[in-house]
Amino acid sequence: MSVTLKALTRSIWVFHVSAGSCNNCDIEILDLLTPRFDAERFGIQLIGSIRHADAILITGAMNKKSVPRVKKLYEQAPKPCVVIAVGTCALSQHMFRDSYNVEETLDKILPVDLYIPGCPPKPEAMIDGIVKLVTKLRQGT
């Protein structure tokens, strides 16, 4: 495994996309940065520009308006870049399954590397997921 990829697992800059969520998942994500969980210990930082992103964190149920935007964001991100789906909405559309406004799940649109289920998932669950992702990347699969 290359040195730069190893460095990436220790310095993940996260870009946060809300693609039609109820805002609860987003609040839980912000909890990760608070003193109690302090994700900066592991080099994880929330950044504002998609050009700096190493991970795209997507919440919400992919409605018709947000799908093209999510696709565009993924195209604009510098590779290597992982996609993380947070919350049951992003995973399986949850209660919006039969809605007129949502058509596909996230993994039909983008290659998703990590699924974090929950409504909303606890910060502990997200840390657990990130640890799994980092282990997977280090093993080079």
Partner 1 sequence: MIRTLFTYIVFPGFLFSAVVGLLAGWIDRKVTARIHWRVGPPWHQNFTDILKLLGKETIVPPGRKVTFLGAPYIGLLGAVCVAGMVGRVLFTGQDGFAGDLIVILYLLTLPAISLIIGASASRNPLASIGGSREIKLVLAYELPFIISVVAISLKTQGTLQLSHLLGFQGEAGSHIASISGILAFCVALLCMQAKLGFVPFDASEAEQEIMGGVLIEYSGLPLAIFKLTKAILLATLPLLLTVLFLGKDTSPLFVVLKFVGIITLFVLIKNTNPRVRIDQSIRFFWGPMTVVALAALGLAIVGL
Q: Which two tokens stand for residue 9?
A: 């697992």
List the beta bridge partners of residue 114: 84
Give the one residue of 8, 25, 84, 102 binding ligand SF4; rule: CB under 6 A: 25
Give the one residue of 1, 30, 47, 95 binding partner 1; rule: CB under 8 A: 47
The contact pattern for ligand SF4, residues 50-89, with x = CB under 6 A and - = no contact, is ---------xx--------------------------xxx
Instruction: Give start and end residues of each alpha helix (H) in 61-122.
Output: 66-76, 88-92, 106-109
Give the one residue of 54, 121, 123, 133 binding partner 1; rule: CB under 8 A: 54
Closer residue to ligand SF4 in complex, CB, 39/102? 102
Burial class of residue 14 in the structure, from the number of CB atoms within 10 Å of its CB (0-12 exposed, 13-18 middle, 19+ buried): buried
d(CA 93, CA 10): 31
**123 binding ligand SF4? (CB under 6 A):** no
Give the H or E element holding residue 135: helix 123-138
The contact pattern for partner 1, residues 56-85, with x = CB under 8 A and - = no contact, is --------------------x-xxx-----
**4 binding partner 1? (CB under 8 A):** yes
DSSP 121: P
Closest CB 79 distance from partner 1, rounded Å: 5
Q: What are the backbone angles phi and psi of residue 29, rounded to the nearest 5°? A: -65, -40
48 binds, among ligand SF4, partner 1, none (CB under 5 to 8 A by kind): partner 1
